[in-house]
Amino acid sequence: MTPPRDETPAETPAVTELVTGETSSVAHARPRASNGRFIRVPQTPLPDQEEPLPDDRFLEREISWLQFNERVLQLAQDEDMYLLERARFLAIFASNLDEFFMVRVAGLKRRIATGLAVRSTSGLEPRELLDRILSTAGQLMDAHAKIFEQQVRPALEEEGIFLIGWDELTESERENLGTWFSEQVFPVLTPLAVDPAHPFPYISGLSLNLAVVLVNAKTGSEHFARLKVPPLLPRLVPVPEASDSEEALYRSRYVPVEEIIAAHLDQLFPGMNVREHYTFRVTRNEDLEVEEDDAENLLTALEKELSRRRFGPPVRLEVDAAMDDHVLTMLSRELQIGRREIFRFQAPLDLRCLNTVADLDRTELKYPAFVPRTHRDLARVESSKAADVFAAVRAKDVLVQHPYDSFSTSVQAFIEQAAADPKVLAIKQTLYRTSGDSPIIDALIDAAAAGKQVLAVVEIKARFDEQNNIDWARKLEHAGVHVVYGVVGLKTHCKLSLVVRQESDGLRRYCHVGTGNYHPKTARLYEDFGLFTCDPQVGEDLTKLFNQLSGWAPRSTFERLLVAPGSLRSGLIKRMERQISRAEKGKDAYIGIKVNSMVDERIIDTLYRASQAGVDVDVLVRGICALRPGVEGLSERIRVRSILGRFLEHSRVFVFGRDGEDGVLIGSADMMHRNLDRRVEALVRVADPRHVNDLVDVLRRGMSDETSSWHLAGDGRWTRHHRSPEGEPLLDLQSVLIEEHASRRRGRRQ
């Protein structure tokens, strides 16, 4: 792998304990032109600045993302973590890094190639940034492979879980797997020769392949062939135990399918001697480029682009560490990929396969079983069969937190009840990501069949869910649902539902504003908030916003919503400036933010000004953070922390005032340029004092020194704090919340 370049700036702090990298910031993308449906509110200028903020005030977003994935890797390294969860975190790390190369690295390379890349806000030239990324990512991949081989794999073997090679099988086991190969694998394999009559084949992205060097038994001439491992085959093939002993019942052995294929290469190349074989894997540019302004039909344009995405240029080549140099040279030449983008690892490659191991039915090696509970405000109002969501929301606003509060008995029940209720006249819904068998989709179809007015705003450009969303958009259209694809030039990322119901005193609008997708499966894994309300102001706001998404309503204003790309950034900055004004008058002032990513320079600069004015600022961020906390004269009053664990922290919460007295908002927007400039996002102001207290408490506990978390320093280093000075484990916030929600439910039953 290519070492860091000599021209790296002197400021090069370690990424964390595992990897040494550097910090900077990527140049932000420019917003697209206004599109007619949204009036872009001019950005509020920052207060007059007596002294300019330092030029090096931003951390590099791409390196920050790699640091986030390193935090995932540290969980896999943690010996106190449940063993199968450690295997799962290794698989998550691998999947995350695949997407990073397919999108972020590929995008940077494309901008460099087209001359559109610019110097980052920290001063890095584009090629320098690419070198930095590849160097840091390479170190992380090395650490990933070593943690599996030296720590997790031996620990799995101690528990009777083995990933073994062909040579470790008994003769009878080889015979059994040989039969399976002949019957199930051999017929679907397609060996491809490479010679003057057979050009080098196309290698699909993320596929596992065998590079095979052959020698003609008669002539002695050397030949090369490529063999793709079919993705529909199980990657890890279980080896049945011959014994029924108690020990055997707790033993699981797997052989990577490529090992079985490699052992039978002679059947694929009769008359040839197999001299060498190695595994390799290519990552390609799989980001989509759709010029929507020029597309007469966005759906058709996206379908065409999806078919082209499979042929994006390579951005990474992973190879077996044992691969001979002459084979690697040939692959590099044919794939047109540079040496710095080639990474050697000990087989097996692609450790996403560890999800198979993590799924084993070994409860003692996993997180304790967890069942989401019906929210207490919904459980108190029940009909003969299920909770009456409308009655509960009429009584008072309801704030749910998934996965602790059940998605199926709250959000899903809300849509299903609306679809079945004859008093409901209309349902309007945004869909960004949803599952293939989503009950939300089924409920919308049922509602349309019942004659209700149903509007679905489907974001078909949700990355890597494009084809799934296209399929469900077609199904909704065929069922009579009014399907729209949002606003040209903007992704619709807001999480909104609106139900219009005829009641005795007139029409009432029931609303749900969430921080997460309407996805029943991820709702069990992602931490998110959702507000149910029938407040007339919120109902009016959602009606206006849906009209913007489906028709023409460019001059809409909102009471309890902040909406991007119009008022969201400026609205947050105004609230921050009020805290600055309080601090300048000697009053207590506080800003608390919980997001997935903190990148936007305008927001960060305002937080720096707030700190300089005396405002205490807490940022609880899961992933990327370009803000430097704790820097003298700049950000002494800013703390940045991160929590990773069993659930993916996904909610976005904004608190103004120590106890939220100056406003608390939740919604879909992260502090990134794409969210604030190129997406339709919505935050809603929370009004109920109970909910304000709950949201403030979540942020406060997340930032507490008694809670296990990672702390960001001003030099860009993340440090894990999971034990007290006395060596005692700090509180796992997610485990605490599981127990608290269970206790509330038990208390209600009593």
As a whole number of angstroms, the distance between CA 526 and CA 295 comes to: 34
As a whole number of angstroms, the distance between CA 699 and CA 592 comes to: 7
118 Cβ contact list (under 8 Å, min separation 6): 27, 126
120 token code pair: 């980052």
740 Cβ contact list (under 8 Å, min separation 6): none
728 token code pair: 């005692």
Three-class SS of residue 531?
strand
159 Cβ contact list (under 8 Å, min separation 6): 83, 250, 362, 365
CB distance 513 to 686 below 8 Å: no
Q: Are strands 222-228 and 192-194 parallel, antiparallel or unpaired?
A: antiparallel
| 298 class by beta-carbon count within 10 Å (0-12 exposed, 13-18 middle, 19+ buried) | middle
As a whole number of angstroms, the distance between CA 263 and CA 123 comes to: 52
As a whole number of angstroms, the distance between CA 411 and CA 496 comes to: 11
Query: How many residues belong to the chain?
Result: 750
In this structure, what are the phi and psi dihedrals at residue 144, rounded to the nearest 5 degrees? -60, -50
As a whole number of angstroms, the distance between CA 599 and CA 674 comes to: 10
Amino acid identity, position 481: V
Asked about 691 being catalytic, the answer comes back as: no
Stretch (H or E) spanning 63: helix 61-77
> Nearest CA to 479 among 503, 506, 446, 456?
446
As a whole number of angstroms, the distance between CA 457 and CA 485 comes to: 6
As a whole number of angstroms, the distance between CA 219 and CA 657 comes to: 82
Q: Are strands 561-564 and 342-345 parallel, antiparallel or unpaired?
A: unpaired
> Nearest CA to 211 among 282, 130, 293?
282
Q: Which residues does residue 684 pair with via DSSP β-bridges, in sequence order?
A: 561, 666
168 token code pair: 């470790």
For residue 403, whether the previous peptide bond is cis, meaning omega lies within 30 degrees of 0, is yes
As a whole number of angstroms, the distance between CA 305 and CA 301 comes to: 6
Q: At what angle do helices 466-478 and 298-309 cross, to 10 degrees?
A: 150
Stretch (H or E) spanning 427: strand 424-431
Catalytic hit among 28, 144, 402, 493: 493
E-state strands within 16-117: none
Three-class SS of residue 107?
helix
> Annotated catalytic sites, by residue?
493
